[in-house]
Every structure is written in C-alpha cells, then in structure tokens.
Structure 1
Amino acid sequence: MTKQPDLPEPAHADLDSMLNRKFGKEVANYFSGSPLNRVGFLRTDNVFLSAALKHPSTSFLLCNDLQPLLKKKASLAYLSYKDVESLIGDPYSKNEDELVAEFNSTTAIPQMIFLGLDERVKDALVYKDHYKGAPFFALDVTPKGSLKEAAEKLISTLESRGLSWAHGRAMDYPASE
C-alpha cells in the first residue's frame, strides 16, 4: 500500500497566543493547502470570467461521470480553452440579466466551476492591475441532453490522444456489484 502524504503544517504552528493557550495548537485542514486563490468575490463578474475563460494560461480539469481526466495513472490532465471551446462556447459573454431573460430549463448547459487563480504562474491573467494568476476551471463533460453529441465527440478526441478517465473506488459501484 502506498504511503499517505503527511498533513500540512499550520501556518503558525509555533506561535504562542491566547487562542493557542485556551484552545490548543492550531489544526491544519487537509484541504486548505490549495495553491489557488479562489477570488470568490469575482465569481459574479462576467467581464473577469470571460477574460479568465479565454486566457492562454487558463487550465480546465474535465470530469466525465465525476471521474477526472488523466494523462498518466496518477497525473491529472489539464486542457486549454481551445480544447473545450466547441462544448462550452463563451458562457460569460452575456450579463446576468440577459441570461435570466433567456433561461430555458429544458436546455442543457455545460456545468463549469471557476476554481481560482494560481498566483505562482508568470505571464498569467492580470485583471484590474491587482488580481494576477493562471485561471483554473472544472468542467463536467458527462454526455447528456442537448450536449450529448458534442461531449461524446470531445471525449472521443481526448481518448484518441491517449488520455483516460480515472476509475473510481469500490464505493462508486452499485450495491449489486
């Protein structure tokens, strides 16, 4: 069995403070070590999201039936906007009022989440001279509804390039299996 990674150390593990004395040593959340700045307050800014979507430094993490795309057994594959443009188009080209007015619940739209900016990347997106980093998005490419053909075509193209989808753990299988 492979060795599990150590939990991250808290930022101020040795800091002596009233909080530490009263409640004990700080606990580091295992998932708190993300290199991405989530810039949550920009998630409603369509100008920012549209620029982030199309920037050359942008990376997309694709999932098919919740299984991430891999380039090797234990290495995620990231794609560019050009790779996924045929499926997603430019969903941020319209403002929220236009989107609400045109909304049709019977039309499937790609499910995409802005994950954040990786501020360690040079030559990345710069927005309002203050927010800098390579944008990351997660995109669900599970074939369904009106997106089925486009998603299947994209999946086929990716698999022909040698990429594959991670296989889930035993808990992902139906109880009958």
Structure 2
Amino acid sequence: MRIAFLTAPEGVEQVELTEPWQAVKDAGHQPVLVSTKPGHVQAFNHLDKADTFPVEAVVGEVPAESFDGLVLPGGVANPDFLRMDEQAVAFVRAFFDQGRPVAAICHGPWTLIEADVVRGRTLTSWPSLKTDISNAGGTWVDEQVHIDRDGNLLITSRKPDDLKAFDEAIVTEFAGQNT
C-alpha cells in the first residue's frame, strides 16, 4: 500500500510524522511525503525547529487515487497552513469522495473541517478542536483513538502520547480496507 502523509512546508509536529511513517514502513507499506511545495518540509518539536524531510510529491501534481490511504499529522501550524491551501483541501476531500481511508492526529482534523468531511462523523483530536468539530457537524469524543466507519474509514487520535495506539490502528485498519 502507498500511504500519503500530507504536510505543509513548515509546522508539522515531527513525532506525529515520523512515528506513524515508521509504523507504515515497518508493516511493509510505502509512506510518501506529500506537501504543497517541492523541496523539504520543516518539522517542529512543539515550538522548536527539528529536522527537515524531503518532499516526494506535490499536491496538485499527484492525484489522491494514486494512494491507498492518507495520514494527516498535526502540529498547530501544519493543519492551519493546509486548510488555507485549496489544492491541499481538495486532495483531502478526494480521499473521502473515493472512499479511501484517512487518519488524523492532534490538530490534523482542522484540515478535515475545512474539507467539509466531518459532518455526521465521530472523531477525536487535541481538545481545543472540540468546538470546531461540533460547529462543523461532527461529534467530538475524548478517546485515545477513535475509529469511525460511517462512510470511508476515519481514524483520529488526540496527541503524541496516543501515538502507539494511533500507529497500530493505522496499520491494522488500513490493511483491512485494502484486502
């Protein structure tokens, strides 16, 4: 399976990118770093600059159907930048339109809200997104990981402390969608 990891050029929470990436890779699948611009993405450890990672595909140049699933890492700035990029929002919406699995952690659901795909869905996130999710027609729950199967598969998680459970859910549930 090819799994797109969508990030903005700057602001992704490093651990929310690298740990799910490694879990996907360890499961024998191909993670692909997709961004809104070519070059590298600048990751952060909360507010401090961390490592950079090479972009492998650019939104608008690669179709969603070339991937089997999508992961939206968090960080406060990352999804805020993504939700302001029309092509990134369209890329996310395409996964829902095509019934492909999607996973988002921490602030990642902000991009889902902008793509107008949370209405009628149940998800979790960083607690400060609770009102945003509710205002977008979704139901927010305070759970380590929530798996919503109403429509395409949607896996959400709250924060970096939940990464082990999030990673396990991605690997198990995405594989189950593509068998």
- TM-score in same-fold range (> 0.5): no
**In proportion to residue count, which structure has more helix?**
2
Q: Relative CO higher for 1 or 2, CA cutoff 8 Å, sep ≥ 6?
A: 1
Q: With structure 2 as the length reference, what TM-score do the two structures score?
A: 0.25
Q: With structure 1 as the length reference, what TM-score do the two structures score?
A: 0.25
The structure number with the bigger radius of gyration is 1
